[in-house]
Amino acid sequence: MNAWNTVDTQAKPELLIVDDDPLITDTLNFVLSKDYTVYTADSRNQVKSLLRQLDKPPQLALIDLGLPPTPHRPDEGFHLISELLAYSPGIKIVVLSGQNDEANARHARALGAIEFIPKPCEPEKLKSLLAKALQIRDVELVVAPAEGGIIGKSLVIEKLRNQIAQYANAPFPVLIEGESGSGKELVAMSLHSLSGRKQRPYLALNCAAISPNLVEPTLFGYSKGSFTGATAPRSGYFEDAKDGTLFLDEIGELPLELQAKLLRVLENGEYQRVGETASRTSNARVVAATNRDLRQEIKAGRFRADLYHRLSVFSISVPPLRDLDEDKLILLDHFRDFYAHQSRVAPFNLDAKSLALWHDYGFPGNVRELRNIVIRLTTKYPGQTVGAGQLQSELDMESLDGKIPEPMMAQDSKTLLDAARKHLQTQKNFSLDGMLQQWEKSYVEAALAITHGNLSQAAKLLGVRRTTLYSRMQQYGDLEEKDD
């Protein structure tokens, strides 16, 4: 199957469809190509290859969870959601999957998918959901952010706003650290908009979303004939940013050989286009962001210590939403009123139990997840009062850190009891130890997936020591190990 195909038009919004069944992709392409410029892929690798060929990412993505090499498990689809949002935070992802277990749906939404649809789906319903997702994206692009772009009244958020205001006009680099979905790009945009550079260009490059061999020409530009495909000279981001701001997201993914060249620009502003010997000068201010612990990356030999110290002249840590307490309710009010107004419907309300559930929920996908939950509730329950049961169906309940509301406990206890009774009646050689180990392994796999294999972060998420987690992984044998 071709990695992608398009309809020759510039007027249509772009839609990426990812499914390993050619019958499904061909059918969806036929149904949706009248309204969208459609690209198709059957795996994460094909998606990466396709995105590198496009000048800009698609506005929408419709993806399956079960993709090669593990089509009977949702892991590849979960990874793809995270990768697409890292590549383009504004992309709206709809999951269309036969792996429609409720836990999979909740986790896909927690990672950042705007909606989950089980297969099969009526074409008109699918068209309606995609149109709604596109409308939401368009509204978010044209509406200016709130004060400094940062919403909340907690002491942590006040400190964040003060740091942004304090560092905005300084010419030195800023390193922004924080979890995926916590709003690092919003902080970068706020630094630019509050600075004297706000009338100058603001350019952003995701270092994790571009082929390593394209990072250098993208950043520094290239001369004609410097490599295959270089048919004309082209400026790079440092040149195009001029006296503005250059935001380098996921800086921890920058190849080692390019880290020295970036360090040179930071130290004296000098760089060279690929294929040229003459030096050029950039006055762009560099703001970098990462969800990795760069100090650990330095110890592992994957990141230069001198570059880290140069980037972190000023350092800003963006807090995860689970630490913001009452700001969860402020964000709820903000997004609820915003999307209700844009949809021209009455806002929904939460009853007392659902408000308590909202307050206790961990929001593993941070502000991005909260916003998507509000969008779904606005669509499903306009002008209505949402109860705890209705809200629970939108949440990834494993992130509650042990705080289980009474309605859920009663309901899930009965469900688990019934399932255990049926399972025991059908098993001849049941082992409780084996079953408990299987459950434990599933939680470890989920934590590793959420933290992209970072053992320290996964151990923190599971509430165990790093050495304990590593020991358990050695017992399982088939879990992928990554240095952190």
pLDDT at 411: 40
Q: Which of 298, 319, 340 marks a domain boundary? A: 319
Structural domain includes residue 21: yes
Instruction: Calculate mean pLDDT across residues 430-446.
Output: 74
Local structure of 38: helix, strand or coil: strand
The segment with the largest mean pLDDT, out of 39-48, 228-237, 397-406, is: 39-48
- Tell me, yes or no, whether 357 and 214 share the same domain: no
Count how many domains the chain has: 4
State the DSSP code for 382: T
- Tell me, yes or no, whether 169 and 301 share the same domain: yes
Instruction: Calculate mean pLDDT across residues 400-424.
Output: 47
Q: Which of 276, 292, 319 marks a domain boundary? A: 319
Which range (101-115, 348-362, 414-428) has the least confidence? Answer: 414-428
* CATH at residue 370: 1.10.8.60
- Tell me, yes or no, whether 197 and 251 share the same domain: yes
Cis-peptide, bond into residue 69, ω within 30° of zero: yes
- State if pTM tops 0.75: no
Structural domain includes residue 77: yes
- Tell me, yes or no, whether 301 and 392 share the same domain: no
Contact indicator for 274, 223 with CB cutoff of 8 Å: yes
Which range (139-143, 158-162, 192-196) has the least confidence? Answer: 139-143
Which domain range does residue 70 map to?
A: 14-142
Task: Assess whether pLDDT exceeds 80 at residue 84.
Answer: yes
Structural domain includes residue 443: yes
pLDDT at 226: 86
Structural domain includes residue 64: yes
- Tell me, yes or no, whether 344 and 396 share the same domain: yes
pLDDT at 89: 80
Output 75 or 140, whichever has higher pLDDT. Answer: 75
Which range (4-13, 191-200, 419-428, 441-450) has the least confidence? Answer: 4-13
Which range (56-70, 330-344, 429-443) has the least confidence? Answer: 429-443
Local structure of 88: helix, strand or coil: coil
* CATH at residue 260: 3.40.50.300
Terminal CA-to-CA distance of the chain, rounded, Å? 37
**Nearest one of 138, 128, 117 to 13, comparing CA atoms:** 138
Structural domain includes residue 113: yes
CA dihedral 461, 464, 469, 471 (to 10 degrees): 180
Structural domain includes residue 421: no
Q: Which of 112, 142, 172 marks a domain boundary? A: 142
* CATH at residue 31: 3.40.50.2300
Local structure of 213: helix, strand or coil: helix
Task: Assess whether pLDDT exceeds 90 at residue 441.
Answer: no
Task: Assess whether pLDDT exceeds 80 at residue 164.
Answer: yes
pLDDT at 55: 78
- Tell me, yes or no, whether 314 and 330 share the same domain: no
pLDDT digits (tens, 9 = 90+) for 232-264: 889 999 999 989 999 999 999 899 989 999 999
* CATH at residue 453: 1.10.10.60
Task: List beta partners, residue 206.
Answer: 249
Instruction: Calculate mean pLDDT across residues 450-457.
Output: 74
Q: What's the longest Cα–Cα distance across the chain?
A: 77
pLDDT digits (tens, 9 = 90+) for 266-300: 999 999 999 999 999 999 999 999 999 999 999 99
